[in-house]
């Protein structure tokens, strides 16, 4: 807040003269009217509180002005000026002071007033009047003083600006270094990423080539073993037949692994083609069951339908792919069931135009911490690896892709050791549900 400062000390030294004490009396009287005696006493006390000059007080609590020095008088003048300004503003205060000076003019010469009273006025108050009273030299001194003050302020500012500029420059320089580092990193990462992409592509095409190449000799082996097992090349002993059957099974597993690899590769490279047609999933399930049953019987498993509606609508699906989905899920259920376990299959027409299919077993289940990875490529849960060494880790990855490509969803619930329920949905055929199947389904969608 704006506040008047007392004039420089040397100007306010010496004893109070008649003019000055009368001036102060006038001010005090006026302040009494304005603020009241009690408030004024406080104003004066606080104006004098920090003064090193001793001030004597009269019994009524007011300072003894008769015996006060100019220092005390000046403090009182400043105190009153500040209080008046605070409450009524500068013009009002200056007006009061002007009136006090005017009153003095009746008794004192202009010269005495200038000399004794004007010097008491705090800095900033009635400056114009003060300047009028100054000599040319004093005026010049004042101006110089002001200029010096301004210059000093200016220099301080400049210094600050300089300092800020330096700080800013340092900040910019370090942010520039950071930018360079960032760009470098970005460049390196982009390049590394491109290389990895390339590598991934190479690897994928390598797998594709290898798998394709493996298929032919594996088919050759299968054909040869078939010849032997069919006794086309002569009778077999029981022992020979047993070992040949083992070889035949191993070869079949190998073929299925290679097919999985090719399937996964096709999904990744977007080369998987789909030929949709209207079909009844129950027929597909029956078909797959027929193939899975021997393995299930070997482990004394019971497979049954928990729900098998007679009016289940058809779906638009690629028969080969959907068959692969059921085959994968049912074979998994068989593989990871304990001897004598139960597998339940469910099919249901949901209200949202989807068919919900479930395959539930009471086998080894999926450990909780590995559940999130179950649909990832090449992932096999630890307990699954233990139970069955064979497996590409690609089956569920392929299943998920096929289901999603058909516009369905797949999920599961499992408690380790208690089995797993796989659920997936397929949208009901867009052609009127249950309508007779076209002899030669027309729509074929490319991938």
Partner 1 sequence: MSIHASVGLSQGEDSYAVGVNAAQDAIDKLGGGKLDAVIVFSSVAYDQKKMLDGVRSVTKNATLVGCSTAGEITTEGPAKRHSVSVMAIQAEGVSFYAGVGENIAAGATAAGKMAAQTVRSQVPDGKLDAFIMLPDVLTGNGADIVRGVLEELGEHFPVVGGAAGDDFEFKKTYQYLQDKVYSGAVVGLGLKGTFKIGIGVKHGWIPIGMPKKVTKSAGSVLHELDGKPAISIYEEYFGPEQAAELKKETLAKLAITYPLGMQVAGSDELLIRDPITVDAGGSITCAAEIPQGSEIRLMIGSREEAVKVAKEAAAKAISELDGSAPKAVIIFNCIARNKLFGERSGEEIVAIQEAVGKDVPLIGFYTYGEQAPLGGEVRNINKCNPAFHNETVVITVLGD
* Residues of the shown chain interacting with partner 1 in the complex, contacts defined by CB under 8 A: 172, 176, 179-180, 182-184, 186-187, 190
Q: Which one, 190 or 418, has the nearer CB to partner 1?
A: 190
Residue 263 CB, nearest distance to partner 1 (Å)?
22
Q: Which one, 186 or 388, has the nearer CB to partner 1?
A: 186
Residue 372 CB, nearest distance to partner 1 (Å)?
24
Distance of CA 126 to the CA centre of its chain: 62
Q: Which one, 158 or 201, has the nearer CB to partner 1?
A: 201
Residue 163 CB, nearest distance to partner 1 (Å)?
21
Residue 193 CB, nearest distance to partner 1 (Å)?
10
**Pair of tokens at residue 142:** 């004042």
Q: Which one, 181 or 245, has the nearer CB to partner 1?
A: 181
* Unique residue bearing structure tokens 């049912």: 330
Residue 207 CB, nearest distance to partner 1 (Å)?
19
Q: Which one, 208 or 328, has the nearer CB to partner 1?
A: 208
Q: How far apart are CA 52 and CA 87, in angstroms?
A: 27
Residue 182 CB, nearest distance to partner 1 (Å)?
7
Q: Which one, 193 or 302, has the nearer CB to partner 1?
A: 193
Distance in angstroms between the alpha carbons of the first and the last residue of the chain: 79
Q: Which one, 205 or 226, has the nearer CB to partner 1?
A: 205
Residue 190 CB, nearest distance to partner 1 (Å)?
6
Q: Which residues pair with 425 in a beta bridge?
A: 356
Q: Which residues pair with 410 in a beta bridge?
A: 424
Strands 342-349 and 302-307: parallel
Q: How far apart are CA 283 and CA 291, in angstroms?
A: 13
CA angle 128, 84, 87 (to 5 degrees): 120
Ramachandran region, residue 124 (left: φ > 0; alpha: ψ -120 to 50; beta: rest): left
**HEC states along 237-262?**
CHHHHHHHHHHHHHHHHHHHHHHHHH
Sheet holding 302-307, edge to edge: 302-307, 342-349, 354-361, 419-427, 410-415
* Unique residue bearing structure tokens 């705090």: 122
Distance of CA 292 to the CA centre of its chain: 50
């Amino acid at each position: 807040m704006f506040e008047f400062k007392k004039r420089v000390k040397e100007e306010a030294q010496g004893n109070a003269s008649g003019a000055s004490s009368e001036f102060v009396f006038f001010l005090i009287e006026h302040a009494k009217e304005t603020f009241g005696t009690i408030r004024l006493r406080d104003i004066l006390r606080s104006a004098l509180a920090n003064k090193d000059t001793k001030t004597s007080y009269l019994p009524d609590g007011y300072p003894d002005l008769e015996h006060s020095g100019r220092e005390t008088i000046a403090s009182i003048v400043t105190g009153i000026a500040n209080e008046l300004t605070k409450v009524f503003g500068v013009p009002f205060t200056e007006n009061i002071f002007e009136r006090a000076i005017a009153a003095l003019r009746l008794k004192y010469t202009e010269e005495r007033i200038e000399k004794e009273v004007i010097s008491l006025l705090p800095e900033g108050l009635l400056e114009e009047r003060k300047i009028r009273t100054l000599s040319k030299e004093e005026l010049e001194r004042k101006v110089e003083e002001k200029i010096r003050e301004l210059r000093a302020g200016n220099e301080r500012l400049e210094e600050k600006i300089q300092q800020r500029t330096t700080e800013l420059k340092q900040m910019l320089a370090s942010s520039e270094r950071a930018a360079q580092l960032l760009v470098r990193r970005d460049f390196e990462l982009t390049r590394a990423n491109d290389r990895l992409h390339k590598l991934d592509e190479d690897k994928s095409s390598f797998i594709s080539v290898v798998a394709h190449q493996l298929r032919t000799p594996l088919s050759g082996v299968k054909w040869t073993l078939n010849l032997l097992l069919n006794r086309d090349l002569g009778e077999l002993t029981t022992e020979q037949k047993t070992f040949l059957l083992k070889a035949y099974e191993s070869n079949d597993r190998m073929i299925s692994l290679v097919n999985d690899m090719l399937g996964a590769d096709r999904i990744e490279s977007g080369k998987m083609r789909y030929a949709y047609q209207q079909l009844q999933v129950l027929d597909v399930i029956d078909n797959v069951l027929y193939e899975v049953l021997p393995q299930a019987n070997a482990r004394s498993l019971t497979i049954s339908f928990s729900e098998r509606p007679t009016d289940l609508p058809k779906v638009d699906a690629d028969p080969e792919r959907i068959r692969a989905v059921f085959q994968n899920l049912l074979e998994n259920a068989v593989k990871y069931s304990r001897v004598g376990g139960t597998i339940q299959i469910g099919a249901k027409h949901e209200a949202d135009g989807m068919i919900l299919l479930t395959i539930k077993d009471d086998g080894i289940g999926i450990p909780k911490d590995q559940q999130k990875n179950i649909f990832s490529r090449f992932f096999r849960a630890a307990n699954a690896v233990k139970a069955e060494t064979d497996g590409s880790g690609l089956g569920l990855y392929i299943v998920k892709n096929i289901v999603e490509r058909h516009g369905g969803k797949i999920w599961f619930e499992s408690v380790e050791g208690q089995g797993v329920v796989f659920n997936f949905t397929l949208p009901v055929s867009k052609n009127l549900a249950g309508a007779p199947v076209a002899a030669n389904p027309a729509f074929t969608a490319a991938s």
